[in-house]
């Protein structure tokens, strides 16, 4: 039975956790307190519409979560939770904003905990250095313009929760050699890996990485490596079998319930050259993001394909580094050596698995636009940052202790510089470049609602104009949100709600709308729509 830690040690640990949460909250709140949450963008708008639709529509929509797989994502529990939250929160902007900020705090805490756990300095010697590196690295990653875009869209909750789970797994893997109750930790790691599959399709990559770590330990014990795990091989085997069975069944659902058809209209065909091209360019793209530079290379399928030699070099370097970590390592103690080796295996397999999943998707549904998006989109950049961060921390393990103080100071400087730069960006740059003239979805929706109210008061049909600039989907217009309008304008089910297509209105009819619905022109201005053209 494991020896219980003294009370003062446990109290100090809880105090540190409390201070970490408070510091993370302060950083997130100061940086993103004016966050404009895009609650009507793309799928978030779809969820809002269905959440205010008749019960039959909601039931059919809810059933589709369990009977279909979308683009490799079979996450019925996560979609169901998001749908019920949408029904509960509705159009209350403060609720959505607070949720997104809370997710940002959770991500900051997870990042700090991971870097601190993976750092090779014992707490008794130089704890300040470890905290400096962890704090600086966290601020450097969190305080970026792309993170603002990441937090703004509520549907990014799946990527955010996946990242928190991935960082928790990486933290547990790095700390596993030092843990006392390893059997319990092994089962918790397996459970966390499987839980990630219910959040995002990339959860499969976390499962594969976890199984690779378990297999590495079990094989290592047979050749004289990972000696401290010799009495835990049974727990590793049981956890591996259970995880493999559950993940296998979940993966079968992902493929069996997929509805997407291959897209034949494409100008490129994904090959192994694109695979290695992505491998080579991801470190560069992540570095540009970390240092706040958005105007990188003009990505294209041809550029990515022609960069395959760079990807081969990067892949070979990663394999060489992981083999070195497994064979010898560079830490003085066996515990730290095992920690670095397991983290290296986890990060490498996670990175390769994510790239293989991208390759599978591009082979089934090739899209050059999506291919470019992997190197620029927040939903891809940040998950890949998690994998590369693990490999980077493993490389730091080779830095002599004497120089780690310099590393700590450098990370702190970079971190606080990132905070200052992001605050400057938020106050000076973002107001000039943000879409929709700086208006939030809620502000635009108020004009939509007011336009509908004015039209009904004038006994006119509600003008139906495109909302694509706000939602991102060409098929979404005001009529699409009719259930939401009915709810907010308190229109009963028996009362008719008429719409008229703006393109079919005559000049006289349009002039009448401009006179009787003054909110319409303001709405069009925010959406950059020209409503005064000829009919």
pLDDT tens-digit profile of 457-474?
888 899 998 998 888 888
In a domain, 392, yes or no: yes
- How far is CA 302 from each of CA 34, 95, 282, 372, rounded to the nearest angstrom? 39, 44, 16, 11
Q: Give yes or no: residues 345 and 426 share one domain.
A: yes
Q: Give yes or no: residues 380 and 523 share one domain.
A: no
How are the residues of the chain apportioned to helix, strand and coil, as percentages rounded to the nearest 5? Answer: 75, 0, 25
Distance of CA 459 to the CA centre of its chain: 46
Token pair of 125 as six digits? 């010697």
What are the tens digits of pLDDT across the range 400-417? 555 667 777 777 887 788
Distance of CA 126 to the CA centre of its chain: 33
What are the tens digits of pLDDT across the range 433-456? 666 667 788 899 999 999 999 998
What are the tens digits of pLDDT across the range 134-146? 888 888 888 887 8
Distance of CA 203 to the CA centre of its chain: 12
- Which of 36-40, 358-362, 395-399 is predicted with the least confidence, judged by mean pLDDT? 395-399
Paired with 64 in beta bridges are none
In whole angstroms, what is the distance from residue 71 CA to residue 63 CA?
17
Is the per-residue pLDDT at 534 higher than 50?
A: no
Q: How many domains does the chain have?
A: 2
pLDDT value of residue 322: 83
Q: Give yes or no: residues 360 and 422 share one domain.
A: yes
What are the tens digits of pLDDT across the range 55-81? 999 999 999 999 988 777 899 999 999
In a domain, 2, yes or no: no
pLDDT value of residue 120: 57
Distance of CA 261 to the CA centre of its chain: 25
pLDDT value of residue 271: 86
Confidence class of residue 291 from pLDDT cuts 50, 70 and 90?
low
- How far is CA 499 from each of CA 54, 396, 481, 495, rounded to the nearest angstrom? 19, 62, 11, 13
In whole angstroms, what is the distance from residue 511 CA to residue 505 CA?
10
Which among 472, 411, 528 is positioned nearest to 149, based on CA atoms? 472
1: burial class by Cβ within 10 Å (0-12, 13-18, 19+)? exposed
Q: Give yes or no: residues 166 and 213 share one domain.
A: yes
Q: Give yes or no: residues 318 and 385 share one domain.
A: yes
Q: Give yes or no: residues 54 and 170 share one domain.
A: yes
Alpha helices in 291-400 (DSSP H): 301-306, 308-327, 334-364, 368-373, 378-396
Q: Give yes or no: residues 420 and 445 share one domain.
A: no
In a domain, 533, yes or no: no
In a domain, 357, yes or no: yes
Which among 206, 130, 171, 195 is positioned nearest to 397, based on CA atoms? 130
pLDDT value of residue 417: 80
Paired with 70 in beta bridges are 73
Contact present, 272 and 308 (Cβ < 8 Å): yes
pLDDT value of residue 436: 67
Q: Give yes or no: residues 213 and 360 share one domain.
A: yes
- How far is CA 321 from each of CA 95, 214, 391, 407, rounded to the nearest angstrom? 46, 19, 9, 21
Regarding pTM above 0.85, the answer is: yes
Q: Give yes or no: residues 254 and 396 share one domain.
A: yes
Q: List, in order, residues 6 or more apart from 69 with CB less than 8 Å away.
A: 253, 254, 255, 256, 257, 258, 259
Q: List, in order, residues 6 or more apart from 107 with CB less than 8 Å away.
A: 142, 160, 163, 164, 167
Is the per-residue pLDDT at 331 higher than 70?
A: no
The single residue listed with the structure tokens 């795990």 is 229
In a domain, 1, yes or no: no
In a domain, 535, yes or no: no
Q: Give yes or no: residues 386 and 496 share one domain.
A: no
End residue of a domain, out of 398, 431, 464: 431
In a domain, 364, yes or no: yes
Q: List, in order, residues 6 or more apart from 342 with CB less than 8 Å away.
A: 173, 174, 176, 177, 213, 216, 217
Contact present, 57 and 240 (Cβ < 8 Å): no
The single residue listed with the structure tokens 């092994």 is 186
What are the tens digits of pLDDT across the range 172-214? 998 888 887 888 999 999 999 999 999 998 999 999 999 999 9
Q: Which one-letter DSSP state was computed for residue 227?
A: G
pLDDT value of residue 535: 46
The chain-wide mean pLDDT, for the chain, equals 84
Q: Give yes or no: residues 426 and 443 share one domain.
A: no
In whole angstroms, what is the distance from residue 227 CA to residue 218 CA?
10
pLDDT value of residue 255: 87
Q: Give yes or no: residues 38 and 142 share one domain.
A: yes
Residue range(s) defining the domain that contains residue 517: 438-527
Which among 121, 367, 387 is positioned nearest to 262, based on CA atoms? 367
| Percentage of the residues of the chain whose pLDDT score is greater than 90 | 30
pLDDT value of residue 203: 93
Token pair of 174 as six digits? 């790095």
């Amino acid at each position: 039975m494991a020896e219980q830690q003294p009370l003062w040690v446990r109290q100090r640990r809880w105090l540190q956790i409390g201070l970490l949460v408070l510091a993370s909250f302060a950083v997130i709140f100061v940086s993103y307190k004016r966050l404009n949450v895009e609650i009507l963008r793309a799928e978030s708008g779809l969820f809002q519409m269905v959440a205010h639709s008749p019960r039959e529509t909601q039931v059919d929509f809810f059933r589709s979560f369990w009977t279909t797989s979308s683009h490799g994502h079979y996450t019925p529990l996560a979609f169901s939770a998001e749908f019920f939250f949408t029904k509960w929160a509705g159009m209350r902007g403060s609720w959505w904003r607070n949720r997104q900020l809370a997710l940002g705090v959770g991500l900051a805490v997870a990042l700090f905990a991971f870097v601190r756990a993976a750092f090779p300095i014992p707490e008794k010697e130089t704890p300040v250095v470890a905290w400096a590196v962890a704090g600086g690295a966290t601020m450097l990653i969190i305080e970026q313009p792309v993170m603002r875009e990441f937090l703004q869209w509520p549907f990014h909750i799946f990527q955010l929760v996946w990242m928190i789970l991935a960082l928790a797994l990486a933290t547990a893997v790095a700390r596993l050699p030092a843990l006392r109750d390893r059997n319990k930790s092994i089962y918790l790691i397996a459970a966390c890996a499987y839980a990630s599959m219910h959040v995002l399709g990339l959860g499969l990559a976390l499962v594969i990485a976890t199984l690779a770590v378990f297999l590495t330990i079990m094989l290592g014990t047979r050749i004289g490596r990972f000696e401290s795990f010799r009495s835990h091989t049974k727990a590793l085997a049981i956890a591996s079998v259970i995880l493999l069975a559950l993940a296998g069944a979940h993966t079968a659902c992902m493929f069996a319930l997929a509805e997407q058809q291959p897209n034949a209209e494409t100008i490129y065909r994904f090959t192994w050259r694109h695979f290695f091209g992505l491998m080579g360019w991801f470190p560069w793209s992540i570095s540009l993001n970390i240092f706040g530079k958005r105007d990188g290379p003009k990505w294209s399928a041809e550029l990515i394909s022609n960069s395959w030699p760079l990807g081969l070099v990067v892949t070979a370097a990663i394999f060489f580094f992981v083999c070195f970590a497994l064979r010898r390592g560079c830490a003085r103690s066996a515990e730290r050596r095992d920690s670095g080796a397991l983290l290296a295996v986890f990060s490498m397999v996670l990175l390769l698995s994510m790239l293989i999943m991208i390759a599978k998707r591009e082979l089934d549904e090739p899209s050059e636009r999506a291919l470019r998006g992997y190197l620029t989109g927040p939903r891809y950049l940040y998950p890949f940052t998690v994998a590369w961060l693990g490999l980077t921390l493993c490389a730091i393990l080779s830095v002599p202790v004497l120089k780690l103080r310099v590393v700590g100071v450098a990370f702190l400087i970079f971190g606080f510089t990132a905070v200052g730069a992001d605050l400057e960006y938020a106050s000076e740059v973002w107001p000039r470049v943000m879409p929709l003239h700086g208006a939030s979805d809620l502000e635009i929706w108020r004009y939509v609602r007011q336009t509908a109210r004015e039209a009904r008061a004038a006994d006119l049909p509600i003008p139906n104009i495109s909302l694509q600039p706000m939602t991102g989907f060409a098929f979404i217009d005001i009529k699409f949100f009719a259930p939401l309008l009915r709810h907010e304008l308190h229109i009963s089910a028996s009362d008719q709600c008429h719409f008229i297509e703006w393109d079919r209105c005559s000049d006289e009819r349009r002039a009448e709308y401009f006179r009787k619905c003054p909110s319409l022109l303001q709405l069009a201005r925010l959406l950059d729509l020209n409503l005064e053209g000829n009919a």
